[in-house]
Each structure stands twice: as C-alpha cells, then as structure tokens.
C-alpha cells in the first residue's frame, strides 16, 4: 500500500512504558546463544518473529499481559527475539498505519524447546487485529483421528479414545 499521512496513523507510540523484567535472550538480530528460563516450571522460552512483509514501515504490534493489561513487549517489522515469559494468557495487538493489512507479514510465537506454536497472526486488511492466546501447555487428545480430539490441545495427555470396528465391518 501507499504511505498514509492522515489522522489514522497508528504507528507504535514509543512513550508507552514497556515492562523490563522479561529477560530477552536475543536482540533484534538472529544470532545469539539460547539460555533457559530461570523458572522453568512457570516460564517458557519463546521465539517471537515478525516477518518483514511488503510494507514493513506500516506495521507495529504490542504483546499485552491479559491479566494486568501491561504492555510486555512491542515492536515494528521485521522483528526477531527469544525471551522467557510466564505461562498465562496474553493479547497480541497488531496495527497497520495504512489500513490495508500486513501485506505478507506474519507474527509467530513458538516454544523454543519443543516447537509448539502458540500464535500465528497476520492482519489481512484494516488497521487492527487483536488475538488473545494462552502461552503454555494445554493437555488433551492431540490425535485428529480420535473420537475425543481436542484442537486446542498442544500437549498430548494420553486420553485419546477410538471407536473400534468389529472385524470385517466397514462404516460408511
């Protein structure tokens, strides 16, 4: 999209305070040594990546703690960091200053230890997208072929149940 210079300029306000007690293990570059979280029972080490897309100057975002409503982290495109976050509910607010969406830019939050993707967000059109998500294990049946498959589960707890067919019977 073209640059919009009107009143709907939602670029990140750098005067908004951002919590400093979340330990980042990597700067805005992709090279770093990974470190584990100091409280692994209550924190997860996650990778937050926002791809550049076609119009990165239009993109900004905020990661907000859903309980305290505090902005934990914010940035522009492109962005790439690893940090430790407490297990819990978060809200991601994505903004586009032109109003035509993120134009091929995607923000993902992934668990560094096991690859679990907690968030995959893009803004297809408009000025803003907000998504609430849970950062942490959600136990349940993760097999889509099971009778009790739970699409929100990201940790298999061994509870999957299956309907067994009698020998030589076919269900259509």
**pTM for this predicted structure:** 0.72
pLDDT tens-digit series, residues 6-61: 233 333 344 344 444 444 444 333 333 445 899 988 999 999 999 999 999 999 99
CA distance 46 to 60: 19
pLDDT tens-digit series, residues 97-150: 999 999 999 999 999 999 999 999 999 999 999 999 999 999 999 999 999 999
Is the per-residue pLDDT at 78 higher than 90?
Answer: yes
Please spell the DSSP secondary structure of the chain, one letter per residue: -----SS------TTS-----S-BSS-SSS-------S-TTTEEEEEEEE---S-GGGEEEEEEETTT--EEEEEESSEEEEEEEESEEEEEEEEESSSB--SS--EEEEETTT--EEEEE---SBSEEEEEEEES--EE---TTSTT--TT--EE-S----PPPPTT----
Q: Considering only residues 157 and 30, tell me which one the structure prediction assigns the higher pLDDT.
A: 157
């Amino acid at each position: 999209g073209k640059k919009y210079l009107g009143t709907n300029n939602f670029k990140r306000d750098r005067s908004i305070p951002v919590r400093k007690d979340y330990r980042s293990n990597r700067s805005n570059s992709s090279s770093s040594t990974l470190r584990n979280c100091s409280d692994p029972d209550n924190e997860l080490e996650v990778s937050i990546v926002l791809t550049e897309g076609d119009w990165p100057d239009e993109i900004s975002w905020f990661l907000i703690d859903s309980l305290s409503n505090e902005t934990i982290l914010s940035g522009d495109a492109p962005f790439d960091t690893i940090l430790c976050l407490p297990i819990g509910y978060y809200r991601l607010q994505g903004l586009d200053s032109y109003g035509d969406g993120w134009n091929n830019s995607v923000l993902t939050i992934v668990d560094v230890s096991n690859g679990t993707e907690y968030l995959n967000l893009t803004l297809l059109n408009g000025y803003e997208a907000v998504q609430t998500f849970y950062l942490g294990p959600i136990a349940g049946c993760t097999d889509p072929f099971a009778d009790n498959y739970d699409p929100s589960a990201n940790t298999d707890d061994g509870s999957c149940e299956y309907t067994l067919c009698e020998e030589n019977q076919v269900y259509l």
